[in-house]
Structure 1
Amino acid sequence: MLLAALELVGIAAFAASGAVAAVGARLDVFGVVVLGLTTALGGGIIRDVLLGVHPPAALVSWPYLAVAGVTGLVVFWFHPTVAKLWRAVLLLDAVGLGLFVTAGTTTALALGAPPYAACLVGMTTGIGGGALRDVLLREIPLVLRREIYAVAALCGAVVVAFGDYLELPAVPVTLVGSVVIVGLRLLALWRHWNAPVARSGPET
């Protein structure tokens, strides 16, 4: 029950980030809700498609759709207030990332995926919605150009896969993986860490 509630909190945080980006891009109410839904549910849908789970869980569980849709509407109508609470949204976003990545990795392992594939699926579960959001806004996905986001997700996924390889209890391993992701993400935000980029070559 607690994990289900935390998952819905993560969905709301992801939906809020997508909706805020849509408001900033001056989309109408329909566009704001669609971008919120895409950001919140896109990663899970990609995960289920990759693993052959049909229909995707996000499309058959009405609370997921309801929470993401309502969050989009709330952001549309009260976006100045949401902007003031942005630090809280980032915290919830980090928690959602940890939950989604570890759940995605665990699901992939349970369905027989090899560890390296499970890690990639888990990471994609966490970052896929945000990448789709940026593509819809005609931007290079944020996770590919700055911030420690995908790297944190991959680290947590590796923890879960390694714990499964060692046949450790699933719940503690999942908890540790989530803590690793949330911790790295919040530390990166606090310290303003970004992944390194290639140096520019000489101008010609």
Structure 2
Amino acid sequence: MHFSTSEIIEVLGTISFAISGTFAAMQKRLDPFGVLIIAFVTSIGGGTVRDLLLGDTPVAWMRDVNYCLLILLTSLATIYFKTHIKKFKVTLFVFDSMGLGLFTMLGLQKGIVFGLEPGMCVALGTITGCFGGIIRDTLLNQIPLVFRKEIYATVCILGGILYFILVYFNLKADLAKVIVIAFIFGMRVVVVRYKLSLPASYFRS
């Protein structure tokens, strides 16, 4: 059976965000049902917003039950193996960063398929990458990362721009995708490692 690059990216992205959602929920000590809900919305949130904006309905996960099964199995496996993982925060960061890169690329590609201008494709990629985490953090009563000083959405935007630059210079699309995903993941690691951030708002109540 042959899988396209986009299908592989989507599966890996879904798994990554399902794991990050599961760990985020376990940090808040939710019950198993709550953990599954958070894993689900983290995985499908960005793609759902993307598809609704494009008018591509029913949205992807409603057309293919395998996405739901993949999220369910990934979340259950993560819960089962939680005793073997001591650094929840690090694990959450790694899988969230992986999901960010993978889903940003998916959103970017879908914008291209729909014939959108490069700027709109970058915006769509950023939405796809970020909105699952926004919904997750909101449900967990946290300020979403994208709204804090930490550089998050900016990395997606830079990754999207990099993709079009690489394609412009005739790099093969599949290789460009891998480079962009690695770039977004690597940038997130650098940002957190060296505590880089955008200036905080100076508005005060």
Q: Distance in 2 between matches of 1:84 and 1:92?
A: 13
- Deviates further, 74-83 or 48-57: 74-83
Q: Distance in 2 between matches of 1:21 and 1:88?
A: 10
Does the Cα contact within 8 Å between 2:22 and 2:75 map onto a contact in 1?
yes
Q: Distance in 2 between matches of 1:136 and 1:64?
A: 21
Say if 2:181 is the partner of 1:181: no
Following TM superposition, by how much is the alpha carbon of 1:83 offset from its aligned partner in structure 2, in angstroms?
4.3
Q: How does 1:129-140 map to 2 (within 5 A)?
A: 129-140=132-143
- 2:28 is matched with 25
TM-score, with structure 2 as normaliser = 0.84
Say if 2:37 is the partner of 1:37: no
- 1:154 is matched with 157
TM-score, with structure 1 as normaliser = 0.84
- 2:53 is matched with 50
1:61 to 60, 64, 86: 64
Report the 3-state secondary structure (helix = DSSP H, G, I; strand = E; otherwise coil) of the residue aligned with 2:142: coil
Paired letter, 1:129: G
Paired letter, 1:8: V
Unaligned runs of 5+ in 1: none
- Deviates further, 175-184 or 78-87: 78-87
- 2:131 is matched with 128
Say if 2:95 is the partner of 1:72: no
Q: Distance in 2 between matches of 1:184 and 1:31?
A: 31
1:122-147 CA distance string (max 9 Å, x none): 00111110001111123221221143
How has the CA–CA distance of structure 1 residues 5 and 170 changed in structure 2, closer, same or farther, with 3 Å as cutoff? closer
Following TM superposition, by how much is the alpha carbon of 1:185 offset from its aligned partner in structure 2, in angstroms?
1.2
Does the Cα contact within 8 Å between 1:16 and 1:75 map onto a contact in 2?
yes
How has the CA–CA distance of structure 1 residues 199 and 135 changed in structure 2, closer, same or farther, with 3 Å as cutoff? same
Paired letter, 1:115: P
Paired letter, 2:108: T
Paired letter, 1:58: W
Percent identical? 32
1:141-168 CA distance string (max 9 Å, x none): 1221143221111111122244556776
RMSD after superposition: 2.6
Following TM superposition, by how much is the alpha carbon of 1:78 offset from its aligned partner in structure 2, in angstroms?
4.1
How has the CA–CA distance of structure 1 residues 116 and 6 changed in structure 2, closer, same or farther, with 3 Å as cutoff? closer
2:87 to 73, 84, 89: 84
- Deviates further, 133-142 or 84-93: 84-93
Does the Cα contact within 8 Å between 1:7 and 1:96 map onto a contact in 2?
no
